[in-house]
Amino acid sequence: MEMIKIIMDNDPDYLREICLEVTGEFSPSRTSVSKIDNDIVITVDRESYIDKIYGREIQDKLYFARHEFISKVPPEIDYYEEFFSNGSILF
């Protein structure tokens, strides 16, 4: 999780602006916002990854402090190299 520091006015274009600032791209059809009390989570669901931007609304200002990148693609692992040639036999 990456720490970010962005303070914005609560205007109608905040979603577009925060996505462009943090991820460099904005796709309205793939972006959703969930609000619980004053906490805000912006989720951008793409084919191979998910971006989540966490923030909070305080006195009509939006404070965003965290960005999380979640990969949907399993890592490419050379199983022979990682498990057999360098590992220990346990039986």
pLDDT tens per residue, range 39-65: 999 999 999 999 999 999 999 899 999
Q: What is the mean pLDDT of the chain?
A: 88
pLDDT tens-digit series, residues 8-19:
888 888 899 999
Q: Are 56 and 4 in contact (CB under 8 A)?
A: no
**CB distance 61 to 9 below 8 Å:** yes
Fold of 2-85: Double Stranded RNA Binding Domain (3.30.160)
Report yes or no: 39 and 56 within 8 Å, Cβ to Cβ: yes
Output the pLDDT for position 76. Answer: 82
CA distances from 78 to 70, 74, 87 (A): 21, 12, 13
Q: Is-above-0.75 flag for pTM?
A: yes
Report how far apart, in Å, the C-alpha atoms of 39 and of each of 35, 42, 51, 55 are.
Answer: 6, 10, 16, 6
80 band by pLDDT with thresholds 50, 70 and 90? confident
In the chain, domain spans: 2-85
| Higher pLDDT among residues 5 and 78, named by residue | 5
Lowest-confidence pick of 24-28, 30-34, 82-86: 82-86
